[in-house]
Structure 1
Amino acid sequence: MVSALGMTVVLGGCGSTDSSDVTLRLVAADYGASAADGSQKYWDALVKDYESAHPGVKVEVSVYSWNDVDRKVREMVDDGHAPDLAQIGAYADYAAAGKLYPASDVLSIRTQADLISQLSDAGQWEHTQYGIPFAASTRVLFYNKTLFAEAGIKPPTTWDELAADAAALRAKGVKYPYALPLGPEEAQAETMQWLLSGARSGNGYTDDVGTYSIDSEQNVVTFDWLKDELVGKDLTGPVAPGKLNRADAFAAFADGEVGMLNGHPTLIRQATAKGVKFGMVPMPGRTGKAASMGVADWMMAFRQNGHAAQIGDFLDFVYSEKNVLSFSREYGLLPVTSSASTAMSASGAAKDKVLRPFLDQLPTSQLYPVGKTSWAAVSAAVKKDIGRAVAPGGSPVGVLTRLQATATAADSRDAG
């Protein structure tokens, strides 16, 4: 999820150009590592196929990096020029503002029913689905098999075993025994996985009824443990966790410098390309297997330009089993439809088999509280501040209490 193409590409269609033609405008995020494998390549091919069978519709696609795409859509909406479709990271604020079509207004019954129910549920704002899942992933613990063999250790299943393994790796001179990326790029992900691994109840950032519980006792215990047992014992590497970004941690793993870290499917390609021998196991919990974190990115349909029928027809094509599988396989992500997920699970292809550890975790994984319009503000606050909780002299309870206050205030503003 890197590399901005930074280009607006108008894709030619095969239909007529009379006044009855409709042009749909889609803004999408880039999942590629370079222009050569960027998402523009995927959309170019898909739109060409669609337009050849639908001569009355053209589709213009603009692809931007994840650093820019959410801001770009926000600017378009604020300027009164919303796209017809946006494939970005969050939908709830647009739904709350009345700017989106409900999924049921644009998707066929068949397509909507094929979406994985857990993801569809996460796409709801006030019990109506507006966010249409487009891509999904889960997290597992990656470990370097070569480094583990040299240290004479096995993959951990509990926090105590993880700390012991990290100490053994450090004794062998491993640069990052456990890489803990709490830097501003994606700190909200690493944080949530650790909150889930320490949870006896709740869903990480929220409790069982969906109320923010960032400063709960169990979450404070989790960050006390990270600060004292990993960071404080010099088991997380030379870069302070609050300054270590996910992309840099992944790159270090691919360079053979990391013993273990939480990772998503993108890391498979990076590590394989560098010849790293790695294994994948569920993230350890305090005393055993932890709940996994799931992440979904979202497609949404804006009301401003109308075109509900054309939007729906195009989305039915986008969400066909063939196209969902094509995208998932191209970028190492998990299918968001039951039909494509079943096909991938049954496949004997190596590129599908390697995703099964992630696919197996998806049905029981916990997602960010994306149905809250306050989540964007809370996520930004976590990215900015959570690294301070494990810094020397830092106070986990103090940082978590401040984040809870931010979340409560954001929730109150949105409710008002």
Structure 2
Amino acid sequence: MQRRTTGLIAVLSALGMTATLAGCGSSEDSGDVTLKLVAADYGDSSANSSQKYWDTLVKEYEAKHPGIKVEVSVYSWNDVDRKVKEMVAAGKAPDMAQIGAYADYAAAGKLYTADDVLSIPVQADFVSELSTAGQLNRVQYGMPFAASTRLLFYNKKLFAQAGITGAPKTWDELAADAKALKAAGVKTPYALPLGPEEAQAETMQWLLSGGDGYLSSVGTYNLDSAQNVATFAWLKDELVGKGLTGPTAPAKLNRAAAFAAFTRGEVGMLSGHPTLMKMAAKKGVKFGMVPMPGVDSGPKATMGVADWMTAFRKNGHKQQIGDFLDFVYNEKNVLAFSHEYDLLPVTNSASEAMAADKDDADMGPFLEELPTSQLYPVGKTSWASVSADIKKQIGKAVSPSGNPAAILGQLQRTADAADTSDIAE
């Protein structure tokens, strides 16, 4: 595959123009190079660990590029962001990291831009909404790696046993269905994972369903808005307080555990992404999927999530990083990853291929939600620290002694401080 400099020369030649390309033939272009990549694990067991995906991909790549070795270290989502942060702080940044945020590293000047490392066709193939979300000050640093949207999953068998004939469209209907499920003996009528694994996702989906979100219309944090406080007060009083969220306290319930319980037939409803389809189908669970209910008049905005590939400047392997990432993002590999973990492709070519494949018809509802979904505010350099704070604190808002207004107010103050610090820098 041609690298960016080769493609640029071809374009300039076609236009009858000449240019001097500085830096070609630098020391990084010769000799053996070992690239280090830190990646997140999307598997739910050792059998489908992301390590296996990367090992297969790297083996194929190295066979065609004998001068380049790629070492991949895979960590759980509980640990991967922290691990990369520690490596960077110790001056041992990897060449690439596939993680949950990029803006703080970009603002510190530690990352290559997408322009620096990707060939033009590969960069242009990204879904436009995701490319935009990967920008800091209108420059793309975050390269989308995986995407998903959220829908409400419900267990059809449990619904039938509880006498429920249709999926909920409003919060009142969801609460009523949860009460019916509890009366029918369902262990967890609605699973509310506000534990440290992915509390920021469950939180955002509920805030959107309540008509607000993490940011104001001018792009500042508004975690403690009246609507957001009302949302968590409702969760505390109408779901958690009435024993409708199961035996595990939301602050201690992680997404993986909630998904596993759904596949065991113990959960009536929960917010889920495409990965849950495959997990539930393997276990023989009959389920339905609908947009997340809204506070009053039906579904509101849906949350979208993108995870990011970043390329660190520390080791100076720009050419080799770019060549490897061009391989990572070819249509075959993007589809292979998306199929393995039931996630949405981040490139137009792979998305079109998935939409056209009748075997991928069950992904249709999620693909349809992506263009209008709202993503985390990953373009804010403060988001990584704000997200970490949400993971630690938000579960307390729905505890028996919790005060939603106080917890959201505390989160707002720390978010404001982080945002102000970033602006000052």
* Shared fold, TM over 0.5: yes
For residues 321 and 334 of structure 1, the distance between their equivalents in structure 2, rounded to whole angstroms, comes to 13
Give the Cα separation in 2 of the matches to 1:162 and 1:113. 41
Alignment of 1:281-300 (within 5 A): 281-286=290-295, 287-300=297-310
Alpha-carbon deviations, 1:259-289, whole Å to 9, x = none?
A: 1011112222222222211111110111211
1:232 Cα shift? Answer: 2.4
How big is each residue's C-alpha offset from its partner over 1:317-352, in whole Å with a ceiling of 9 and x where there is no partner? 111111100111011111000110110011011xx2
Question: Counterpart amino acid of 2:310?
Answer: M
Aligned mate of 1:252, from 261, 266, 269? 261
- What is aligned with 2:90? 79
1:92 aligns with 2:92: no
User: Aligned with 1:355: secondary structure?
Assistant: helix
Farther-moved stretch of structure 1 (186-195 vs 44-53)? 44-53
Deviates more, 1:285-294 or 1:239-248: 239-248
Map of 2:333 onto structure 1: 323
**More displaced stretch, 353-362 vs 314-323:** 353-362
Partner amino acid for 2:420? S
Deviation by residue 1:232-282 (Cα, 9 ceiling, x = unmatched): 222222222222222222122111111101111222222222221111111
How many angstroms does 1:147 deviate by? 0.8
Residue 372 of structure 1 aligns with which residue? Answer: 380
Other-structure match for 1:12: none
Q: Distance in 2 between the 1:142 and 1:34 partners?
A: 21
Q: Return the match for 2:343 from 333, 338, 360.
A: 333
State the distance in 2 between where 1:346 and 1:88 align: 29
**Which residue of structure 2 lines up, in the alignment, with residue 230 of structure 1?**
239
Instruction: State the match for 2:180 in structure 1.
Output: 168
CA contact (8 A) 2:78 2:197 kept: no
Q: How many angstroms apart in 1 are the aligned matches of 2:314 and 2:53?
A: 26
Q: Match for 1:251: what amino acid?
A: A
Counterpart in 1 of 2:195?
Answer: 183
Within the candidate set 191, 201, 204, 1:192 is matched to 204
In the alignment, residue 274 of structure 1 is paired with which amino acid? Answer: K
Give the letter for the 2:319 counterpart: A
How far apart are the structure 2 equivalents of 1:393 and 1:76?
38
d(CA) in 2 for partners of 1:57, 1:317: 13
The range that moved more, 240-249 or 162-171, is: 240-249
- Please say if 1:66 is aligned against 2:77: yes
- In structure 1, give the amino acid aligned to 2:253: L
- Deviation (angstroms), 1:290: 1.9
Distance 1:85 1:268 in 2: 30
Corresponding position: 1:130 with 2:141:
yes
Flag the 1:36–1:251 CA change in 2: closer, same or farther, 3 A. Answer: closer
Of residues 189-198 and 102-111 in structure 1, the stretch that sits farther from structure 2 once superposed is 102-111
Q: What is the CA-CA distance between 1:228 and the residue it aligns to?
A: 2.0
What amino acid does structure 2 have at the position aligned with 1:382? I
Partner of 1:7: none
Supply the AA of the counterpart residue of 1:347.
D
Alignment-derived partner of residue 397 in structure 1: 405
Q: 1:277 aligns with which of 283, 286, 296?
A: 286
Q: TM-score with structure 1 length normalisation? A: 0.91
RMSD: 1.7
Which has the higher mean CA deviation after the structures are superposed, 61-70 or 98-107? 61-70
SS in 2 for 1:173: coil
* Equivalent residue letter for 1:236: T
List per-residue Cα deviations over 1:180-200 (Å, max 9, x = no partner).
12222221111100000011x
- Inter-partner Cα distance in structure 2 for 1:184 and 1:75: 18
> Which residue in 1 is equivalent to 2:23?
none
Letter in 2 for 1:157: K
> Counterparts of 2:382 and 2:201 in 1: how far apart (Å)?
17
AA aligned opposite 2:53: Y
Q: Secondary structure at the match of 1:412?
A: helix
Q: In the alignment, what sits opposite 1:305?
A: 315
Tell me the residue number matched to 2:251. Answer: 242
**Distance in 1 of aligned mates of 2:254 and 2:271:** 12
Contact 2:130–2:306 at 8 Å: present in 1 too? yes
Q: Residues 15-34 of structure 1: matches in 2 within 5 Å? A: 20-34=31-45
Alpha-carbon distance in structure 1 between the residues aligned to 2:91 and 2:252:
37
CA 1:290/1:49 → structure 2, altered by over 3 Å: closer, same or farther?
same
The one-letter amino acid paired with 1:387 is G
Q: Paired residues, what number?
A: 394
Query: 1:382 maps to what in 2?
Result: 390
Structure 2: gaps (5+ residues): 1-28
How far the C-alpha of 1:90 sits from its partner, in A, is 1.5
How far has the Cα of 1:19 moved from its partner? 6.4
